Amino acid sequence: MNFCSINDVDNPQGWVDEALALKKEIETYGPKVYTGKSICLLFFNPSLRTRLSMQKASFNLGIQSFIFNLNQEGWQLEFEDGTVMNGYTSEHIKEAAGVLSSYFDAIGVRSFASLSNKEEDYTEKVFNQFVKHCSIPVINMESATLHPLQSLADMITIKEFAQVKKPKVVLSWAPHPKALPQAVANSFLQWAGQMDYDFVVTHPEGYELAPEFMQGARLEYDQKKAFEGADFIYAKNWSSYEEYGQILSQDKKWMIDKVKMNLTNNAKFMHCLPVRRNVIVTDEVIDSENSIVMQQAAHRVTSANLVLRKLIG
Amino acid sequence: MNFCSINDVDNPQGWVDEALALKKEIETYGPKVYTGKSICLLFFNPSLRTRLSMQKASFNLGIQSFIFNLNQEGWQLEFEDGTVMNGYTSEHIKEAAGVLSSYFDAIGVRSFASLSNKEEDYTEKVFNQFVKHCSIPVINMESATLHPLQSLADMITIKEFAQVKKPKVVLSWAPHPKALPQAVANSFLQWAGQMDYDFVVTHPEGYELAPEFMQGARLEYDQKKAFEGADFIYAKNWSSYEEYGQILSQDKKWMIDKVKMNLTNNAKFMHCLPVRRNVIVTDEVIDSENSIVMQQAAHRVTSANLVLRKLIG
Amino acid sequence: MNFCSINDVDNPQGWVDEALALKKEIETYGPKVYTGKSICLLFFNPSLRTRLSMQKASFNLGIQSFIFNLNQEGWQLEFEDGTVMNGYTSEHIKEAAGVLSSYFDAIGVRSFASLSNKEEDYTEKVFNQFVKHCSIPVINMESATLHPLQSLADMITIKEFAQVKKPKVVLSWAPHPKALPQAVANSFLQWAGQMDYDFVVTHPEGYELAPEFMQGARLEYDQKKAFEGADFIYAKNWSSYEEYGQILSQDKKWMIDKVKMNLTNNAKFMHCLPVRRNVIVTDEVIDSENSIVMQQAAHRVTSANLVLRKLIG
C-alpha cells in the first residue's frame, strides 16, 4: 500500500477521525519505544514542516527515520528509460528505488513540480517512478501535483474547528512574487471534495486548476462574494495551470485582509505555510485569534502519524 | 526556562559541580534508553563540536535529536516585523518558531554574528526572535554575541585541572586571518567573572570587548605581563568591537608560543577549537602535555548533558 | 581495531560465512534495541548505499549513528603537519579526529581519491590521518584506493550465488564518461585474491591496476576470451593508474552486452552501483534474470552489520 493521493484512502472521513483518535492516544501514552521498522525520507526540495513532522511522527510510532537529501548527499538520478547515461546523471531510478526498497520498510519522497514541463509534472513522472520501482510503501511528501499529507492535516484541522455540520470552506488564490506549484491546491480540492463541505474556490481568471481536481468544488471569480458567510478561508498561491507555470497576476487586491475577513461568518484563516506576510495575508489577519495556521501546522504530525501507522505501523 | 546566557543560570559554580557529577553518572550507568522527549538542533552556520556534542548529549539523556540545516534544507527566514515579504525571504520567524514549538520539547539555535551590523548583533536580533516566538526551551548553540555551552565546558575544564583554589586565568587574544565574532570571548568573560579566579584579559589596543562583559576581569595590554604566573592560558581571536567586525592586527607577536608559556606557572593551554595552528598557537604548545584542548572539547558533551537535563530532562 | 582494508581481517572467508549467519540472525530476531554505543559517519563525498547501509546496519545492531557531512556542515580540514594555517583550512585533522574520538565509539570515513596526486592518493593521506589521530575504531567507507565494505559485500554475494566450488570470476573494465577512482577495483582484487576463485581481470591496455593489488589475479586483455566460461562478471570502470587519473578510452566495445554474456557459463552480472546504463552495461543485461546487482547492494547492509559487530558490537 502507498500513500500517493486520496485515491489510496478507502474512507477519507474515517481517516480524519482515526487521526484525531491516534493523536489523543499518543498524548496519553507517549511515543512508542521501538518497532524495529525504519523509513527513508528522501528530499529533492526544501522542507521544514514535512521533514520535521515526518521525523516526529516516525519517532511517535517507534519507527527509525533516516533523512536523505539526494541532491546534496547522493547521485543525480536518471528517470528516462533506455537512456545512454553518458551525461550528468549517475544513477537510474530503477537501481536507487530497488536499493532503498531492500534497506527500509517505507520511503517518503518530496519532489516539486518543474513548472516547465506540464506533461511530465501532471503524469507525476518523478514520483511515479519511485512508486513503480519501489517494492515498499511510498509516501508522497509533496509531488509535482499533490500534497496529500498536507490535505489530510487540513481536513483534520477543519474537523477540529468546525462549528457547524456542513461548514462553508473557501480556497482562495492570493498573490505571490514567485511561481508556485498547484500541488497544495489540487490536493486540497481532492480531499475537500470528499468532505461534507459547502466548498468554493476563488481565483482570478486564468488561474483555473486542472478540471479533474475541480469535481465537488464551486468556482466563484468574485473573491468577496466567495467569502460571504464562509467558515474557513484557506489561502494559497499557485501559478497558472493553463499557461503553465506562469505568473499572470500579482494583484494585491487578492491579498487576504481584515476587510475581506469581515465578510465571512467569523471564519478561521488557514494556510499551509510557509506564508509570505503582507503579500498573501496581512499581519492583522494571520496574527488574529481567527488564524489557525499554527494548529494546522501542528496537525501535520497528526496526519503523518496516521499515514505511517496505516502503511508500516 | 531557556539557556541563552549565564543569566539563565542561578548558580554557575553549582552547575559546574553538577555537570561533573552527571558525567560520572553517565559513565557509570550508560546512556538512558528513552524519555519520549525530542529536540530540534537548528543550524545557520557550520559546526563540529556543537552539533555532535549536542547530539551525543541528547543520546546520553534518552532524548531524540533532529538536525535541521535551515539554509540548505529549509526556507529563508524573515526576522523583521511588518515586512511586505515579496523578496527573498519565504517564511517569518513567527511561523517557523511556532511550528517547531509544536513539534519538539526544545530547540537549539546556532546563528553567528553578521559582524556588519553591530546593533543587530548586540541586541541578538536573530536568536532573541527564536526566544520570543518559541514556546519551548531555547538553547544557545552560539549566537551573535555569546556561546554559553562553550563557556560552561570551559569552566568545567578549569575546575577539573585547577591545582589551586583561586587559579590565575588569562584570556589572550591571538591573531587570525579572518574576522571572527566576539561570542566566545564575551561568554567566557561572563562565566569566568562569576568564578573564583584571578582573571586577566590581554589583547592589543583596539580589541577592547564590550564594557558590559568586562566586569570581573582585569585588562592588561602587555601580553607577557599578563602571562606571568598564570595557571590557565585561554587563547582566542576576535575582531574589533569598537571598529565593528574589523581586523586591526594580525601581529604574529601575539601568537601563543613556548617562550610565552614559560612565563606562566606551568599553565594549561586552552582553546575552544577549531584552532589555526601556527597562527593562534604554535604546534609546540598545542601538542605539549600542558595543552588541554581535547579535554576541553570533550567537556562540550559534559556541559550539553547538564543543560539538556536542566531544561527537558 | 580498524576496518581499513582486508589486512584488518584475519580470516576473509570466515567473515563471509559469519556475515551470512548474522544476516539470518537479524532477520529472525529483528534489530537490537539498544547498546548505548554510537558512531559518527563522516562524508567528504556523495553516497547512497554506503550512507544508508551503514545507518541501517547501525540500527540493526542497536548502535546510534550520526551523519556528519563535513564539507557542508563543518570546517575545512588541514591534513599537513606543521602548516601555518592562515589559508582556507580552519581545523587540523589532529583536533577533529581527537574530538570525534572523545564523543563516539567508532567513526566511518568516506574520502575519495583526488585523481590528481597519485602519491597522496596511494599513501591514503587523508584516510590514514584519521586512522593515525583517532583513538577509536575507524571504518573505511571508501578511501582513495580501497572500498572494503563493498568488497566484503561482493564476496558475500558471490558466495550466495556460486553454484560451483571454485567459480570463475571476471572483473571487467567498462567505459565511463568521467574519470573514476580505482578504489572498488583495487579492493575487489584484494578480496577476490583471498577466495577460492578462478580469478581473471580484463581491461584495455593502459588500464593496468597497481601491481601490489594484482596478486592472485590473471590478466587477460581480450575481454571476450576472459568471459569464456565465467560464472560471475563484475563490471567496473576506473581511470588509468599509470597515466594517473586519465581517461584513455571510452571504447563502447567494452560495454557489457548480451553477446558477451552469451560467452559465459550463464554468468551472474555484478556492479557496485551507481551504474550508468547503456554505457557500462546494456539495459538488457542489467535487467535480465542473471543480474544480481540488487542482491549485491542489499548485501551492503550484510557486510556493514558484520564490520560494526566486529568493531564495536
Show Cβ contacts of residue C60 under 8 Å, excluding neighbours closer than 6 positions: C26, C31, C32, C301, C305
Q: Which residues of A touch B55 (CB under 8 A)?
A: none
Q: Which residues of B touch C88 (CB under 8 A)?
A: none
B85, B89, B107, B129: best mutation site toward chain A, by most A Cβ within 10 Å?
Answer: B85
Is B206 domain-assigned? yes
d(CA C219, CA C200): 6
Residues C52 and C176 in one domain: no
Type of residue found at A278: N
Q: What is the ipTM of this complex?
A: 0.96
pLDDT tens digits, A251-280: 999 999 999 999 999 999 999 999 999 999
Residues B197 and B237 in one domain: yes
Is C188 domain-assigned? yes
d(CA A48, CA A297): 10
Is C190 domain-assigned? yes
Q: Which residues of C touch B273 (CB under 8 A)?
A: 91, 95, 99
Q: Which residues of A touch B33 (CB under 8 A)?
A: 33
Is C1 domain-assigned? no
Residues C273 and C175 in one domain: yes
Is A99 domain-assigned? yes
B64/A contact by beta carbon, under 8 A: yes
Q: Which residue of A has its CA nearest to C44?
A: A73
pLDDT tens digits, A99-145: 999 999 999 999 999 999 999 999 999 999 999 999 999 999 999 99
Please say if the pLDDT value at position A33 is more than 80. Answer: no
Is B236 domain-assigned? yes
Q: pLDDT over 90 for what percent of chain C?
A: 96
For residue B94, give the nearest of A258, A56, A287 by alpha carbon. Answer: A287
Type of residue found at A127: F
Identify the pLDDT of residue B61: 96
Residues C140 and C14 in one domain: yes
C301/A contact by beta carbon, under 8 A: yes
Residues B129 and B250 in one domain: no
Residues B140 and B173 in one domain: no
pLDDT tens digits, B295-310: 999 999 999 999 999 9
d(CA A160, CA B6): 42
Q: Which residue of A has its CA nearest to B91?
A: A274
Is B234 domain-assigned? yes
**CA of C140 to nearest chain B CA: how many angstroms apart?**
20
Identify the pLDDT of residue B182: 98
Residues B182 and B192 in one domain: yes
| CATH code, C127 | 3.40.50.1370
Q: Which residues of B touch C40 (CB under 8 A)?
A: 52
Please say if the pLDDT value at position C32 is more than 90. Answer: no
Residues A112 and A156 in one domain: no
Residues A56 and A154 in one domain: no
CB contact under 8 A, C278 and A85: yes
Please say if the pLDDT value at position C129 is more than 80. Answer: yes
Query: SS3 for chain C, per residue?
Result: CCECCHHHCCCHHHHHHHHHHHHHHHHHHCCCCCCCCEEEEEECCCCCHHHHHHHHHHHHCCCEEEEEEHHHHCCCEECCCCCCCCCCCCEEHHHHHHHHHHHCCEEEEECCCCCCCHHHHHCCHHHHHHHHHCCCCEEECCCCCCCHHHHHHHHHHHHHHCCCCCCEEEEEECCCCCCCCCHHHHHHHHHHCCCCCEEEEECCCCCCCCHHHCCCCEECCCHHHHHCCCCEEEEECCCCCCCCCCCCCCCHHHCECHHHHCCCCCCEEECCCCCCECCCECHHHHCCCCECHHHHHHHHHHHHHHHHHHHHC
For residue B70, give the nearest of B46, B104, B39 by alpha carbon. Answer: B46
Residues B160 and B214 in one domain: yes
Put simply, the chain A residues between 71 and 90 with a CB less than 8 A from any chain B CB are 72
**CA of C277 to nearest chain A CA: how many angstroms apart?**
6
The mean per-residue pLDDT over the stretch C252-269 comes to 98
Identify the pLDDT of residue B195: 97
**Structural domains of chain B, count:** 2
B34, B70, B84, B104: best mutation site toward chain A, by most A Cβ within 10 Å?
Answer: B84
Nearest to B99 among A31, A55, A297 (CB): A297
The H-or-E segment that residue A198 falls in is strand A198-202
**Burial group, residue B27, by CB count within 10 angstroms (0-12, 13-18, 19+):** exposed
Residues C183 and C125 in one domain: no
- Please state the φ and ψ torsions of residue B137, each to the nearest 5 degrees: -60, 135
Is A1 domain-assigned? no
Residues C13 and C93 in one domain: yes
Please say if the pLDDT value at position B144 is more than 80. Answer: yes
Point out the least confidently predicted range of A297-306, C71-80, C184-193: C71-80
Domain span at residue C134 reads 6-146+300-312
